[in-house]
Amino acid sequence: MTVDAPFHQITENRAARWLVTVDHATNRVPDWVGGGDLGIAPAEMGRHIAYDIGALGLAQKLATHLEAPIIWSDFSRLVIDPNRGEDDPTLVMQLYDGTVIPANRGISAAGMEERLARLHRPYHDALELLAARSSDTVICAIHSFTPRLRGRAPRPWEVGILHSHLDSRLALPLIAALEAEGICVGDNEPYTGHLVGDSIDRHALGPGRPNVLIELRQDLIEAESGQSDWAARLAFILVATLRQSGL
């Protein structure tokens, strides 16, 4: 993959059933999108609105513990959100947590199609190839959430486990296992776990693959030390939960 590639992956010597994914791994804006600038301040591009802070470092360490392949996108969700279906009205956000995104205002159909063709679709095509490498793949999607949205109450959860009513086979036992470790867990918090067309819907629910989506609070994993600690904790619990689930 080139530096400008829409995704990256690590697969060599990774034979586990797990596939670790990171939809919102970076805040990169390709040069061909507004000259690499969406028209918002650098400080805004460093916020959670542009990417999932700490998620990539955590996911890479977790995948190493699990001996699992990992794939991550390499473009900001403000350019186009890979965790949205192509027909989702929030695919390209014009306003996010109080910040207007000038480069996205009035985006043309051609502009939308270019972002889909060069970023969104290649990422999902590669993700599906990895997921289909084995008939028993288990998808573990890693995200992070901000401790507090503007004007909203603080979020107390350390970890959020998101899951769909269509498949909670792994998520519910994982919630119980995390709670048993004394971790403050959100059950479909701070977001709901079923969104038609999102990555889990597309690559796990549709094909019937066991799955879990893990959200970590960003202040816990912003530093590498926190990423390492949480990766080790999660890996141990994930392996035990999958084994006990019989999936």
Intervals of the chain under pLDDT 50: none
Please tell me the predicted confidence (pLDDT) of residue 143: 98
31-38 contacts: CB < 8 A, separation 24 or more? 31/4, 32/114, 32/118, 33/79, 33/103, 33/115, 34/103, 37/103, 38/76, 38/78, 38/79, 38/101, 38/102, 38/103, 38/104
Please tell me the predicted confidence (pLDDT) of residue 152: 76
User: Model's pTM, two decimal places?
Assistant: 0.96
What's the one-letter identity of residue 129?
L
Please tell me the predicted confidence (pLDDT) of residue 243: 97
- Cβ neighbour number for residue 98 with a 10 Å cutoff: 10
Tell me the pLDDT tens digit for each residue of 8-47. 999 999 999 999 999 999 999 999 999 999 999 999 999 9
Q: Which residue(s) pair with 161 in the sheet?
A: 187, 214
What's the one-letter identity of residue 11?
T
Residue 82 CA to residue 89 CA, distance in Å, equals 13
Residue 37 CA to residue 155 CA, distance in Å, equals 31
Please tell me the predicted confidence (pLDDT) of residue 1: 56
Tell me the pLDDT tens digit for each residue of 102-123. 999 989 999 999 999 999 999 9
